[in-house]
């Protein structure tokens, strides 16, 4: 953003100050001023959001999320191209040893802060059945990571699904119990650790033992999970990211038998 006009740099600095001070009226006023300059506000805002999340600047990330909202950016672009991109950036640093668990946690707080503001603006689809399909979602036993799982949950909820979030470190039996209790349409399992991947086929085996495997679709995901592994363990799909998970389930649910045909 170094090549931006001096006027724009000044507005960005003022927006940083307003975000830090949580001055909501000033944020809206400066956003309108930024739009009038004719610059690519979307590109600037998404870049700012991704960097602020990466740096763990929660108040600033919330402020710039407000900028994005006032500028009329598409909510999914704000989420995926801004907030989630920041987690991707810090994740890459973590993988090469340039960031550590505390930085991941601080960055995730910044992302969630923005997501909380964004949630009401994520338009729910109205073309699904009157009763939303239920998805049981959780991180498998032995794994306490929940950033990716929470992002999937946010996008599924935004697309009209009823998500039952079991949290992290979820025993296989709990997935089965929840699927039956809520008459679920799908189960979504995630892990970030290769050492806990074996929990996924355990859940699928238990679904078969209980005679309910054909009642639910099964999605598996996480950094070590591949399409080949998903096929090998009998899962239905392993989307490559949260947006793909929401898109796949949204398209698949229309051709799936209704709840009463599966569970009654």
pLDDT in tens, 81-93: 899 888 878 877 8
Indicate the pLDDT class of residue 126, thresholds 50, 70 and 90.
very low
pLDDT in tens, 34-76: 999 999 999 999 999 999 999 999 999 999 999 999 999 998 8
Average pLDDT of 176-192? 96
Q: What is the pLDDT of residue 123?
A: 56
Query: All domains of the chain, ordered by start, with CATH?
Result: 6-121 (1.10.1240.10), 134-263 (3.40.50.280)
Q: What is the pLDDT of residue 105?
A: 79
pLDDT in tens, 91-104: 778 768 898 878 87
From residue 133, alpha-carbon distances to 49, 73, 164 in Å are 32, 28, 11
pLDDT in tens, 208-230: 999 999 999 999 999 899 999 99
Handedness of CA 146, 152, 157, 158 (dihedral sign): positive
Indicate the pLDDT class of residue 127, thresholds 50, 70 and 90.
very low
Q: What is the pLDDT of residue 125?
A: 43
What whole-number distance in Å separates Cα of residue 53 and Cα of residue 47?
10
Average pLDDT of 93-122? 84
Average pLDDT, rounded, for the chain: 90
First to last CA, the chain: 58
Residue 203 and residue 187 in contact, taking contact as beta carbons nearer than 8 Å: yes
Both structure tokens of 214: 């054909």
pLDDT in tens, 130-166: 468 999 999 999 998 887 888 888 778 777 788 999 9
Highest mean pLDDT: which of 1-10, 16-25, 96-105? 16-25
Strand pairing partners for 33?
Answer: none
Q: What is the pLDDT of residue 262?
A: 93
Average pLDDT of 165-191? 96
Q: What is the pLDDT of residue 21?
A: 94
Residue 74 and residue 87 in contact, taking contact as beta carbons nearer than 8 Å: no
């Amino acid at each position: 953003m170094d090549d931006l006009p001096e006027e724009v740099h000044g507005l960005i600095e003022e927006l940083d100050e307003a975000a830090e001070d949580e001055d909501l009226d000033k944020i809206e006023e400066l956003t309108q001023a930024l739009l009038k300059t004719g610059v690519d506000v979307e590109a600037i805002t998404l870049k700012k959001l991704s960097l602020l999340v990466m740096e763990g600047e929660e108040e600033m990330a919330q402020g710039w999320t407000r900028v994005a909202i006032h500028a009329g950016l598409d909510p999914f672009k704000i989420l995926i191209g801004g907030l989630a991109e920041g987690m991707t950036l810090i994740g890459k640093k973590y993988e090469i040893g340039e960031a550590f668990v505390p930085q991941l946690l601080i960055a995730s707080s910044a992302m969630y802060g923005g997501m909380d503001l964004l949630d009401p603006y994520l338009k729910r689809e109205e073309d699904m059945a009157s009763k939303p399909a239920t998805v049981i979602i959780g991180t498998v036993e032995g794994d306490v990571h929940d950033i990716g799982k929470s992002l999937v949950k946010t996008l599924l909820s935004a697309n009209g699904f009823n998500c039952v979030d079991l949290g992290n470190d979820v025993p296989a039996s709990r997935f089965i119990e929840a699927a039956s209790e809520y008459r679920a349409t799908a189960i979504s399992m995630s892990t970030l650790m290769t050492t806990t991947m074996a929990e996924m086929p355990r859940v699928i085996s238990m679904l078969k033992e209980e005679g309910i495997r054909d009642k639910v679709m099964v999605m598996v995901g996480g950094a070590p999970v591949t399409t080949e592994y998903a096929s090998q363990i009998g899962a239905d799909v392993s989307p490559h990211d949260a947006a793909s998970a929401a898109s796949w389930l949204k398209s698949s649910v229309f051709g799936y038998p209704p709840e009463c045909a599966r569970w009654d």
